[in-house]
Structure 1
């Protein structure tokens, strides 16, 4: 399709079916039409009129398995109806991307080697994705793209994973006929982030953003994670997924985040293992005194959280598959209580004066009453909370919580069936 034909379809609102299928929410149609119109206008101003294609990769929300993936545990995660979209056209041997207002330097496909000075940049992510796909034997090629994302940055919804996945999906669509499975796209994104970008991360974010829908992942074999769809329509239960931005800063929290896997690993090493997934719970309980003496009480608590949280994930999956939503909500609540009290990742121990997540959870519990449950979202310490709220109470909850954290701080989301996808 060319840009002028697409603009005509937008002006006559001929894409209702495509946008509803993708974003799951009729109330978002006006917003998405405006968003796509602005994106195609921007692409045309950058690269001119002509043929193009559109690709998407979703943001994600962790539903269960808080801080389990780095110990080769289980998680439950969902693609959400916030996404990155890319307006794209082929070109020879060069990748040129403008990402919202950020003008990323051109990448020459003859020079995909890792460059240390590029660590921490978008160039590193793009090069890492393309280099790994090439190493795996897939076709690669150049393109011009304008990418825009409404995945909230710093909110635990995986904006970086969505960016990595959309680059992989673009290469998949332009040069491989969408034949690359989305778990491979996720692994390639993780490789780019680990090796080229220089940030250690698990595979959960990339997998949830690429695969789509509600998925459970078992990382017992991290090189070959077991990814399964959970065939459930959240809408049938009459609840909405809300993410509340508690406005806390992630600055200076690296040590807090790093301490969680480090302390869990220390307990695993006490038993001669690399990760807690390899440790038996009863052995852990039988040697609690020695663990406390060797590793400390907080490490023991965090290990205990892992064992219980890892077992909760299949229970959550079973509850959803059995359509027992009250049981699922009770498990979400138990996960939140464990994260708060046992894992202890709702505020930074180095900065106890700032506890926005703790406050958001406390206020939400009072606001929700019997109308929903809440828990810390993502890595924790600052940022966002998650709430499952009865549909007929969403407006009340949104108005109540935004009184404390500001207008627009509560995002009402849908689980979408697609992760990485060619839209047009």
Structure 2
């Protein structure tokens, strides 16, 4: 509860009064299913035990003021002035949520402003969706405080809209869904076309397994060109094939796709199609044989992202290869790519060995020292105080 306590204290320090409540939402690890969400495909993330907390206090005007532990000054704006063009910097995430609530049907003409104070322990730029943790904690807080009555799938859409239109990152809905729908010791199997979600037990602890996160410290940003270029390539491939999205393509369609597309576009398409199948195979194998049997799908996912989608970097490849060489059941990069984190599913007794060897490998190559920790599948967004 440290994030919540810090948010409550920080609110009092900044605004000179006690907040009326605090909410929190987790970051996420995507176990498998990368760059499939905006292609209407399948993903299988889980919420982690690193969280963002927001403390909220009421105001008697229509101003939203937001401060945080990671910004030097608060930012404020009148509710009537909320628009994507009026928001930038870090505050675009929480204030973008307020704007997006109105875009998705909330009546904001008759609500009062609020003060918000945000604290986070989700690493920024690590591919663990620190942005969605902010969006979902704020969305849940404002929905409850303003009495909007949105359900969690709608709040996920709110977060995605804020990220797409205000922040300018062309992401899918996976991150917000994981942050809002996650449960302890479980993953969220999400169909990104229908938005049907199923919470599936992971059973890592019962099988003596840990999910090790290796934050390479190579920061990425979804709003930068690489992510947008991959999405554009997927959309171009779908148009050339005469389909609405790559979700409509199957493994046995790849031969036809290879004949119609240029090499680069085909490889982008092949990653998405095979990754969708890997998600389905992972969920099926988890149900039938348990988590110890899913390693080959994680390994194959990394190869596909490295070679076909070309979103890995040397540090991620080194983390994955070193974990695999030291007994990991499976390993892959996770998140949007171009930096961020790798994950490795590891027998508990081997976690210290994998950690030691990854640190040594990074030092030997002259890379920045990574942050290595285990991530526990945890509960999604909630009110804490």
Cα distance in 2 for partners of 1:210, 1:277 equals 24
Secondary structure of the 1:75 match is strand
Partner of 2:384: 423
Query: In the TM superposition, what whole-angstrom CA distance separates every residue of 1:336-385 from its partner, at most 9, and x where no partner exists?
Result: 232233333213xxxxxxx222222222222x22x432111112232221
Q: Cα distance 1:194–1:36, how it changes in 2: closer, same or farther (>3 A)?
A: closer
How far apart in 1 are the matches of 2:247 and 2:29?
23
Match of 2:365 in 1: none
Aligned to 1:129: 97
Unaligned 5+ segments in structure 1 are 1-18, 20-31, 348-354
Q: Give 1:95 shift.
A: 1.9
Answer whether contact 2:334 2:343 (CA < 8 A) is retained: yes
Partner deviation per Cα, 1:178-217 (whole Å, 9 max, x = no partner): x432211110111112223333221111111122231011
| Superposed CA offset, 1:93-119 (max 9, x none) | 22222111313321222333x15253x
Partner residue, 2:294: 328
Measured after TM superposition, the shift of residue 245 of structure 1 is: 1.7
Whole-angstrom distance in 2 between the partners of 1:123 and 1:38: 19
1:3 corresponding residue in structure 2: none
Aligned to 2:133: 162
Residue segments in structure 2 that go unaligned for 5+ positions in a row: 363-367
Query: 1:80·1:415 contact (CA, 8 Å) conserved in 2?
Result: yes
Given that residues 332 and 375 in structure 1 are in contact (C-alpha distance below 8 angstroms), is that contact kept between their aligned partners in structure 2? Answer: yes
The CA distance in 2 between the partners of 1:380 and 1:326, in whole Å, is: 25
8 A contact 1:182–1:420 mirrored in 2: no
| Contact in 2 for aligned 1:54/1:85 (Cα 8 Å) | yes
Deviation at 1:287, TM superposition (A): 5.1
Distance 1:170 1:391, change over 3 A: same
Partner residue of 2:63?
A: 94
Question: Are 2:164 and 1:191 equivalent residues in the alignment?
Answer: no
Asked if the contact 2:167/2:223 (under 8 Å) is kept, the reply is no
Q: 1:255 to 1:168 in 2, by over 3 A?
A: closer
**Aligned-partner Cα distance in 1 for 2:337–2:350:** 26
User: Does 137-146 or 70-79 show the bigger shift?
Assistant: 137-146
Separation of aligned partners in 2, 1:151 and 1:360: 20
Contact 2:168 2:223 (C-alpha < 8 Å) held by counterparts: no
Tell me if the contact between 2:246 and 2:272 (Cα under 8 Å) persists in the aligned partners: yes
Q: Say if 1:399 and 1:105 are closer, same or farther in 2 by CA, change over 3 A.
A: same
CA deviation after TM superposition for structure 1 residue 334, in Å = 2.2
Q: Indicate the SS of the match to 1:250.
A: coil
Shift of 1:409: 1.1
- In the TM superposition, 1:307-346 aligns within 5 A as 307-346=273-312
Say whether residues 1:400 and 2:361 are aligned partners.
no
Check 1:115–1:314 CA distance in 2 against 1; reply closer, same or farther (3 A cut).
Answer: closer
> For the residues of structure 2 that align with 1:357 and 1:87, how far apart are their CA atoms?
35
- Tell whether the 8 Å contact from 2:124 to 2:130 is kept in structure 1 after alignment: yes
Q: 1:71 to 1:363 in 2, by over 3 A?
A: same
Distance 1:201 1:239 in 2: 30
Q: How many residues align?
A: 372
Pick from 360, 372, 376: which aligns with 1:410? 372
| CA-atom RMSD in angstroms | 2.5
CA distance in 2, matches of 1:57, 1:253: 22
Alpha-carbon contact 2:33-2:278 (below 8 Å) kept: yes
SS in 2 for 1:234: coil
* Alpha-carbon contact 1:305-1:343 (below 8 Å) kept: yes
SS, match of residue 202 in structure 1: coil
Closer, same or farther in 2 for the Cα pair 1:170/1:69, shift >3 Å?
same
